[in-house]
Structure 1
Amino acid sequence: MKKRNKIIIIAGVLILVVVIVLLNLFRSGEKVYTVEADKVKKGDLASIVTGSGKVQAKKDVKIGAMVPGLIISLPVKDGDLVKKGQLLVQIDPSEYKSAVAQTTAQLNSAKASFEQAKLLHERQQKLFEKSLTSKEQYDASLTQYDVAKAQYDQSQASLRQAEDLLAKTTINAPMDGKITELLKKEGEMVTGATYNPTEIMTISDLSAFEVEVEVDETDIAETRLTQEAKIKIDAFPDTSFKGEVSEIGNTAKITGFGTQDQVVNFIVKVLIQDEVNGIKPGMSASVDITTASHKDVLNIPIAAVVMREEKKDTLNTKSKEGKAEALASSAKEEKNDKKKKKELEGVFLIEKGRAKFAQIKSGIADQQNMEIVSGLKENDQIITGSYKILRTLKDGDKIKIEKKMEKKEGS
């Protein structure tokens, strides 16, 4: 009996030794990921929306011909400064003067006919009141009066129209400014119309400039009027100028509609607040709009942030009934999870040589760093790379920090 017990004890010890050896072998064979690391820091952050576009005058006016004809005088050239009321274009008025003379004569004739018809009708009315004329004669005079009045009114309208067209042959400057574009020359014909004028030139008020840029639809919701901006103009390298958002478009500008390359942007105008010597409309520029700024906040590199599927502990219950219900709901949720899986935003902390996923709540971000609202504290050590490792890294994986990172932290 003692011998049998001794054998059992020896066998048990051997089994324990084998288990320990196997565990050590398993652990020694566990994959170790070499990662980059950094610490959670505090600092200032500013969220920036970037766009590129062209410099333009804050106010410009396109001058066009609203009547057809020959340009007989164009006393300005591109780049000239002009004053309000100054002559810009003279279209041959001969035909329009003739039209005014003709409609004036027609008006005079219609006026005479109207006055005569009015006098006759007044006589017939007095006679009719005294029963000295027939109803037919009275009605005839009234009709003649109405026709003459209508013709007179029409002649007046025709004269006003002819005079308006004649006035449009002379085009004067609507404001002080500079000729920034000249499209026609003296001696050319224009085929303008009131609702479709032929463009001749552009006058710009160069006392104020702005940059018109396109902002992506994902950023437009954060863009507000009067937000500060930094403007860089290609013609003035290594220099930036202060600006302010002055206008935000409400209509989307869509390119590549219906294709995989479809892009939706909105037009934003940024007023240049600094005086820039030598600036000209049409210059290329880029704009950085500060949509939000926070001082002395926790922040981490954006590269450290990962998305992971939410884990649900369906068996975390106290009673057997609770476990049964959890198992039943788990079966249903497995089907639902295949259709819709919730992802959590977080980072991997470094704890005792292993990666530990920590959910975070983020705030604003600049081009490199992201604000941490909750989930981390200052000086927490987190994994920041590489991107390839972070894509597949799991909670609990064994890691080691790259030596160059350790050296950097120790310096």
Structure 2
Amino acid sequence: MSESGIEKKAPLRLDKGAGGARRSRGRGWLYAGLAAVLLVGAGIAKRALAPATVEVLTVAAAYPYQGVTLLNATGYVVAQRKAAVGSKASGRLEWLGVREGSVVKAGEVLARIESKDVEAQARQAEANVGVARASQVQAQAELFEAERLLRRARDLADRNYVSVSALDEAEARAKRARAAVTSAEAAIRAAEAGARAANVSLDQTNIRAPFDGVVLTKSANVGDIVTTFSAAADSKGAVVTMADMATLEVEADVSESVLGKVRIGQPCEIQLDAFPDMRFRGEVIRIVPTVDRSKASVMTKIRFLDRDERILPEMSAKVAFLSRAMGANERNPRVVVHKDALVGEGAASAVFRIDQDLAHRVAVTRGAAIGDQVEVSVLKAGDRVVRKPADTLKDGARVEVSSK
């Protein structure tokens, strides 16, 4: 109590320590909330900026015949007319006038073997013909003389100037003369036949083309021994192998389980491995009436309706057997894409084409369907498009190709 008797009270003071703690805790929660908001925003932004994972399809070129193909088979190009050309004569090859790829005509001389001995035999045979003809002339002269004497003997016998035995002798001489003439004529025919045989043997030393065609391989060279059956060591049975390119066809093995889909005259499309971008029209001409039991297949032969000088024997071929023939306007390839890449209908049809890592929406015009593929405009073969694009995919969105 103060001197005046009045008690003075102490002034009111705030506890600064407790208030500061409360303010610090408030700021902490505020900062934590802001951090959470920032993290959520960053996550949302990251998800928004992350590329979409997509599957990709490739735009291709397809032929309309693929939509009417009943079955496919593989085979090889062969020549229906093919020959290993040799000689019936034996000897050393002295001249060869062709090489691989030479175009020859039927009867043209391809090669020649040594023929001096055969030529000498031919000349001897022709000389024998001359000898036989000279003998015929002599026999005819003797016949003429014998018949003259026979007529004279008969005239004298009628006048009783000669004996009967003299007449008989004249008749016998005439008969011998006639027989000699007949023998001489036969000798001429035999000599002529021998001359023809010798000339044939001489001609057989010339190896000729049996038909029009192209030389495929050369089996012998000048100096090689050519024999009929190639029995001697290092001898050759054939000089060249040739084929008639006008008879090229495809031999394809068709599984017997689908043989019912193949018929004579059926239209086909032929693709050669050597020319993958070309197609050739074909037609089934023969079905070999036997089954290869080791492969359970039947050989089917397809002829080419389109000729091309680049088609060669033994080329690998793929054959598509069609349900109908293709028109002239169906011969060219079409740009197609799988139907899974298309979005929208009608005039609103579009695809998402991938350019680097961006997906661009491209409007397209739909055409005819070829199996699961659809003909489209604007695109070109090789373009990459998104398969089954999501509804949320936008034009220009970043994408990442799935590794599946």
Length-normalised TM-score, structure 2: 0.49
Computing the radius of gyration from Cα coordinates, the structure with the larger value is: 2
Structure holding more strand per residue: 1
Length-normalised TM-score, structure 1: 0.49
